[in-house]
Copies of this chain bind each other. A is one copy, B any other.
Amino acid sequence: MIKAAIIGGSGYVGGELLRLLWFHPKVKVVTVTAGSHTGEPVSSIHPNLTKICNLKFTKENLKEISKTADVVFLALPHGISMGKVKDINLKKTKVIDMGADFRLKNLETFEKVYKTRHLQPENLVKAVYGLSELNLEKIKKAEIVACPGCFPTGALLALFPVAKKGLLSGKVIIDSKTGSSGSGIKLSAGSHHPERANDFKAYNIFSHRHFWEIEETLSNLQGTKVDMVFTAHSAPMVRGIFTTAYVFLDKSFEEKEIKKIYSEAYKNKPFIRLVPSPHVSVVSCTNYCDIGIYIKGKTLIVTSAIDNLVKGSAGQAVQNMNIMFGFPENIGLTFPGSHP
């Protein structure tokens, strides 16, 4: 049993992480912090855990926590995590950050996109980008893992097999649709039920922060800068991200050739399923990513469906923890979705 601490447990991501770790056979949750909720039972914020998890939110004291915890999960707003890491003894305690602070490898890009100076450039370099299916070997040895954003998870799982083969030399369009839980527990006009329930819209066109995260990773895989567009949309559902990726290839491929590239890239990956038609509802509340592959001449369309809070965040964080500590990659994460 390893000891885990959750810093920032009052949001949807922190709550989902707690739910997963609480039932994880190799983990004991020793601390969950949540700023203004210190002293309250976790079930006062996450009523699903009533009579299940008897923890209370505690005060955040990272130096203290770091003494006992084998792993610290940071589920904090962007810009906060990077100020916390200095209080953790990385030789002793591993860090899994679920925010954006350690995702982008390029410091300049980070500071442009997040409009702030990075407080720990040395750890930015050291941190491993935690797309579990991409960086398995690096994650095994990492001291800090930066879990990908929810949109990047869906987009990169749809495209990394072809990027790794250098097939992204033409234009790439990524059109993603998310549920409302992606905006978090904080109230906002865009998540007000009367406005959201029957609506569909695009937002942050040409300026969504996840563009740079996807672009950096795909370009590194491709070996040259990928010419891509990314658009985020709000769909009237709670859970899930559906991504439709359009790739314009240099030459025609047969369906079976492309499918082989995917099945090889995802051999032994327990959470990737190549399916005829991904559905958000099928992967909802699971760590699975369902992928559909369609080709016509030089045009490749890849669709993916994930749950934004599980595979897109807390589930992938646990998957990374499993890898870091030498547990089976899927332990604690094997539950399926429901039907319907």
Residues of A within 8 A of B (CB): 12, 15-16, 19, 23, 46-53, 171, 173, 175, 177, 179-181, 183, 185, 187-189, 191-203, 205-206, 229, 231, 233, 235-240, 242, 244, 246, 248, 273, 275, 277-282, 284-286, 288, 290, 292, 294, 296, 299, 301, 303, 305, 309, 334-340
Contact, CB under 8 Å: A336 / B279? no
Give the complex CA separation of A280 and B284 in angstroms.
17
Contact, CB under 8 Å: A233 / B238? no
Contact, CB under 8 Å: B200 / A279? yes
CB-CB nearest in chain B for A231: B244
Contact, CB under 8 Å: A192 / B192? yes
Contact, CB under 8 Å: B16 / A339? yes
Contacts of A279 in B (CB 8 A): 47, 199-201
Contact, CB under 8 Å: B238 / A282? no
Contact, CB under 8 Å: B335 / A278? no
Contact, CB under 8 Å: B278 / A171? no
Give the complex CA separation of A206 and B115 in angstroms.
41
Contacts of A205 in B (CB 8 A): 292, 294, 301, 303
Contact, CB under 8 Å: A193 / B173? no
Contact, CB under 8 Å: A200 / B242? yes
Give the complex CA separation of A281 and B285 in angstroms.
13
CB-CB nearest in chain B for A19: B336
Contacts of A296 in B (CB 8 A): 206
Contact, CB under 8 Å: B238 / A201? no
Give the complex CA separation of A49 and B286 in angstroms.
11
Contact, CB under 8 Å: B194 / A181? yes
Give the complex CA separation of A299 and B174 in angstroms.
13
CB distance from A207 to the nearest CB of B (A): 9
Partner of A244, one of B175, B235, B335: B175
Contact, CB under 8 Å: A339 / B48? yes
Known contacts A177-B200, A205-B301; 20 further A-B pairs (Cβ under 8 A): A23-B335, A47-B275, A47-B282, A47-B339, A49-B336, A50-B282, A52-B336, A53-B336, A175-B244, A180-B193, A192-B192, A193-B193, A193-B197, A198-B280, A199-B279, A199-B280, A200-B237, A203-B277, A205-B294, A206-B296
CB distance from A29 to the nearest CB of B (A): 14
Contact, CB under 8 Å: A206 / B248? no
CB-CB nearest in chain B for A194: B340
Shortest beta-carbon contacts, A-B, top 9: A194-B340, A199-B281, A48-B337, A187-B187, A180-B193, A200-B280, A193-B196, A200-B242, A175-B175
Contact, CB under 8 Å: B336 / A246? no
**Interface CB pairs A-B, < 8 A, 19:** A12-B340, A16-B339, A19-B336, A23-B335, A47-B275, A47-B282, A49-B336, A50-B290, A180-B193, A181-B340, A193-B196, A193-B197, A197-B236, A197-B340, A198-B239, A198-B280, A199-B237, A200-B240, A233-B244
